[in-house]
A and B are shown apart, each in its own frame.
Chain A
């Protein structure tokens, strides 16, 4: 018997045990036991809690997969859809570019005329279109713009009037109009395989009246086109006549630079991304890194912030 038992009275204890038999209500028992089970995670509500996160988790997974697919898609696959709406913005309203699909169709049809001595570039009709007299005539003519055209970053609409201004000048090594050119010259021009800046095709020449020849002068050839021209026999004769037409007043270096830049600019406008990339790669393969860098700079100027996305990895790393 402990110390507490010393003060216990058996009669009182027995009477108390008989009298005090109150119990808590069963509802209270159920509530407390349920709360106890919930607290330790044994209750049925515990299973419902994670389900609340399932939609969120599913949405997160879908988002991650979608982002992954977009990231894994090569940038070349999205080029056509991006370029198509961008091209009209870069060109002036007076000289809209034809859709790329049309150009591709024409290019596909070009091999049919391979028996011709010099298959014309498909851009030829477009060049005539671009050289329409109203556009050239309205263009402002300042001497500074001609040299500014050498920078590839110059927007396309400003370069074309400069080219139109340059054409009638006596310093240009090529005739001002196709009608002024000698047959040998025309043959040489067509022999450049479109690498020079778009001499008007025979069809275009028929459509263009001689009176507007001054405004619709052909564009200056591309720099690398000159190399090809020198290897052509017909072109050699044409080039032989060039010193006679070149004026003594204009420095030949400036004229050549202007001419080259005009050619690069005009061709660059007509080029698709794929053509551009092929061209840059070809130039690099031929060891003409300076021209490749120039083309790359022109490409970056043309597409600006989208240039890196459009360029393949090997060219993306090449900084002009």
Chain B
């Protein structure tokens, strides 16, 4: 990023090739609309280009990049009037989490349809509470550590740990009946 800020256009190509997929998927899973995701994705990179001169390597570039994406996503949700990233992953919010229509595990139709593993997993992630989904996606797509996610989202590390635990448990439960097939598919 420093090389690009100094005028090296090729450095941007390297950065973009390395991070474009993760950022795009992070945005796509969060807003669940490809058109909006593309718009937000472009906004994130344009913002990066615009503020390149003010970039300070105080943190990992990936953290900075996903901070831009996270903030853009919050702006989008605020503009669209949707409540976002509700901290619903704490132990005290267990009832709320249980009440969310996240799992289709008990739906016989869904099970009987034998949907594809990827589609089911995407649905499971989409059904996660926003804060858990955010933490899960930052971990999976951005490869951020617990501390980095905590710094990015502005919450404590324990909170992030809790969110990740809840999200993982939900997804594991969602995929429990598909575990043999999952292990077979993923090798």
Q: Determine if B8 and A12 form an interchain contact, defined as CB atoms under 8 angstroms apart.
A: no
Min CB gap B120→A, angstroms = 8
Q: Determine if A36 and B118 form an interchain contact, defined as CB atoms under 8 angstroms apart.
A: no
Find chain B residues with CB under 8 A from A24 CB.
Answer: 20-21, 24, 38, 41
Find chain B residues with CB under 8 A from A20 CB.
Answer: 25, 29, 118, 121-122, 140-141
Q: Determine if B141 and A12 form an interchain contact, defined as CB atoms under 8 angstroms apart.
A: no
B49 within 8 A of A: yes
Q: Determine if B168 and A19 form an interchain contact, defined as CB atoms under 8 angstroms apart.
A: no
Contact with B along A238-250 (1 / 0, CB 8 A): 0000000000000
> Which residues of A, 6-43, contact B by the 8 Å Cβ criterion?
6-9, 11-20, 22-25, 28-29, 31-33, 35-37, 39-42
Q: Which of B74-82, B106-114, B178-186 contacts A (4 or more CB under 8 A)?
A: B178-186
Find chain B residues with CB under 8 A from A16 CB.
Answer: 121, 125, 140, 171
Q: Determine if A36 and B12 form an interchain contact, defined as CB atoms under 8 angstroms apart.
A: yes
Q: How many residues from B make CB contacts under 8 Å with A?
A: 49
> Which residues of A, 267-320, contact B by the 8 Å Cβ criterion?
none
Find chain A residues with CB under 8 A from B45 CB.
Answer: 32, 35-36
Q: Determine if B185 and A2 form an interchain contact, defined as CB atoms under 8 angstroms apart.
A: no
Q: Determine if A33 and B38 form an interchain contact, defined as CB atoms under 8 angstroms apart.
A: no
Nearest chain B residue, comparing its CB with the CB of A43: B9
B13 within 8 A of A: yes
Min CB gap A264→B, angstroms = 78
Given contacts A36-B16, A40-B9, contact A19 B146 (CB under 8 A): no
Find chain B residues with CB under 8 A from A40 CB.
Answer: 4, 7-9, 12
Min CB gap A279→B, angstroms = 72
Q: Determine if B161 and A7 form an interchain contact, defined as CB atoms under 8 angstroms apart.
A: yes
B93 within 8 A of A: no
Contact with B along A171-204 (1 / 0, CB 8 A): 0000000000000000000000000000000000
Q: Determine if B182 and A11 form an interchain contact, defined as CB atoms under 8 angstroms apart.
A: yes
Q: Determine if A36 and B186 form an interchain contact, defined as CB atoms under 8 angstroms apart.
A: no
B177 within 8 A of A: no
A-B interface contact total, Cβ < 8 Å: 118
A56 within 8 A of B: no
Given contacts A28-B38, A28-B42, A36-B12, contact A11 B179 (CB under 8 A): yes
Find chain B residues with CB under 8 A from A14 CB.
Answer: 182, 186-187
Q: How many residues from A make CB contacts under 8 Å with B?
A: 33
- Cα distance, A7 to B140, chains bound together (Å): 12
Q: Determine if A33 and B12 form an interchain contact, defined as CB atoms under 8 angstroms apart.
A: yes
A4 within 8 A of B: yes
Find chain B residues with CB under 8 A from A206 CB.
Answer: none
Find chain A residues with CB under 8 A from B9 CB.
Answer: 36-37, 40, 42
A115 within 8 A of B: no
Find chain A residues with CB under 8 A from B183 CB.
Answer: 11
Q: Determine if B168 and A3 form an interchain contact, defined as CB atoms under 8 angstroms apart.
A: no
B67 within 8 A of A: no
Given contacts A22-B28, A28-B42, A35-B46, contact A7 B52 (CB under 8 A): no
Find chain B residues with CB under 8 A from A15 CB.
Answer: 117-118, 121, 175, 182, 185-186
- Cα distance, A35 to B12, chains bound together (Å): 11
Nearest chain B residue, comparing its CB with the CB of A3: B146
Nearest chain B residue, comparing its CB with the CB of A12: B171
- Cα distance, A44 to B150, chains bound together (Å): 42
> Which residues of B, 110-151, contact A by the 8 Å Cβ criterion?
117-119, 121-122, 125, 139-141, 144-147, 149
Q: Determine if B147 and A39 form an interchain contact, defined as CB atoms under 8 angstroms apart.
A: no
Find chain A residues with CB under 8 A from B69 CB.
Answer: none
B172 within 8 A of A: yes
Given contacts A18-B117, A19-B117, A23-B24, contact A12 B172 (CB under 8 A): yes
Q: Determine if B164 and A7 form an interchain contact, defined as CB atoms under 8 angstroms apart.
A: yes
9 A-B pairs closest in CB distance:
A19-B118, A14-B186, A4-B146, A42-B9, A7-B164, A36-B12, A24-B24, A19-B121, A3-B146
Residues of A within 8 A of B (CB): 2-4, 6-9, 11-20, 22-25, 28-29, 31-33, 35-37, 39-42
> 22 A-B contacts, Cβ less than 8 Å apart?
A3-B146, A4-B145, A7-B164, A11-B175, A11-B183, A11-B186, A13-B140, A14-B186, A14-B187, A16-B171, A18-B118, A19-B121, A22-B25, A24-B20, A24-B41, A25-B38, A31-B42, A32-B16, A32-B42, A35-B45, A35-B46, A40-B4
